[in-house]
Structure 1
Amino acid sequence: MGKNFLCFAVLLFCPISFYGQETDIMLPKPEKDSIYTKPTILPEYKEGGLKGFYEYIYKLYRVPKAFRGRERMMVVFVVDVDGKLTDIKVIKDIGAGTATEIIKVLKGSPKWKPGYNAEGKPVKTFFSLPIIISKD
């Protein structure tokens, strides 16, 4: 009975072992239009990095008259392979026209340096950006 149980256990676990080895080796390749969240090299604003990008925003952003207070909005976008910002969305809108204004500013942004994958090819990269708006 001991030998039969051992044979049964070996046969039971062999297919799992082979399947696990096969899936570890055969990884799917990213599709041509995949959007990366963690590329090997992150995208970068050409004129001073992230600090320069915030300076660009605060130079051009006009706080809507109806807004009062100090709040944080969250904006997401994709840095395309050519460095252009696309798919711009405000995911935390603080109202009073602030979302419309930030989208306008981001659409006019100069191109960024794109993100790169492990093969050194430029890739679309998802980017999120918190922005604090303040007006008394």
Structure 2
Amino acid sequence: MKKIIIASLLAVNSCVALAQDMSTRDSLVIEPKFPLTELDTKSGVFCYYNDEWFAIPASTNVEQDSIQAAQVKNDQYGNRAVFFTVSPTYLAHLKAEASKVFINLDPRCEFPGGDGKLKEWIQDNLRIPKGYKGRERVVVNFKVHPDGSISSPRIIRPSKNKAANEEALRLVNALPKFRVMYCAPYQTNKDFSYYMPIVFTEPGLIFIRGNEPASTEANPQK
């Protein structure tokens, strides 16, 4: 039993890191850090105390001597979880600690590496349609599933250029899997709705003040 408890205590650190420790802190609010890392998305362990799950602040240390029993199994949502048995008094202590800090439990998803990497990926993979003129933004909406896969792309803000719309959809369908972090066990089967703007710019077009277009060929060299 002691070996199980020790192994389970290691899982405590893992699940707390998943749900809370990937965070920036001020005195009252804990927010998940971004960009997410591989660890954020692969830990996948939630901890229950006397069959209850609640978010425990990362600063709260679960005392080994307070754990009476531990069992690793799937929870009702199908997540791998550790179920700890503690005394009612210690459970009340953990809940009191949890109530001191607001923890944002909103699920999050992102392109691997964050928004900056997403912009780089778009720039590297975007194909400007032949003969495209001007500059405009096409906005595409799509679903991100719990495993990070993408489906159901649709254009929310279309271009007047049909080829640009087709290219926007092609680009979304070529996206790699996103990274997903769920901070609560009951969220893990939910999809995300993601909006991605894609900017199409005529080759050779630059912008000077207020996004006013000017052709590079039209600017005389000084």
TM-score range, shorter chain: 0.5 to 0.7
Aligned residues: 98
1:69 & 1:52 partners in 2: Cα distance? 25
Q: 1:106 offset after TM fit, Å?
A: 1.4
**Identical columns (%):** 26
Shift of 1:44: 1.3
Choose the corresponding residue for 1:101, options 167, 171, 179: 167
- The one of 144, 148, 160 equivalent to 1:83 is 148
Unaligned runs of 5+ in 2: 1-76, 78-104, 206-222
Q: Which residue of 1 aligns with 2:116?
A: 51
Matched, 1:40 2:126: no
Question: Which structure 1 segments of 5+ residues have no match?
Answer: 1-31, 33-38
Q: TM-score, normalised by structure 1?
A: 0.64
Contact 2:168/2:198 (CA < 8 Å) preserved in 1?
A: no
Post-superposition Cα deviations, 1:101-124, rounded to whole Å, max 9, x if no partner, equal 121121111111125263262531
Give CA-to-partner distance per residue, 1:76-99, whole Å, 9 cap, x none: 111111111111111111132111
1:130: which partner in 2?
197
**With CA pairs under 8 Å and 6+ residues apart, which has the higher RCO, 1 or 2?**
1
Give the deviation of 1:60 after TM superposition: 0.7
> Does the 8 Å contact 1:116/1:122 carry over to 2?
no
Aligned equivalents of 2:154, 2:181: Cα separation in 1? 19
- Once residues 109 and 197 of structure 2 are traced to their aligned partners in structure 1, the CA distance between those partners, rounded to angstroms, is 16
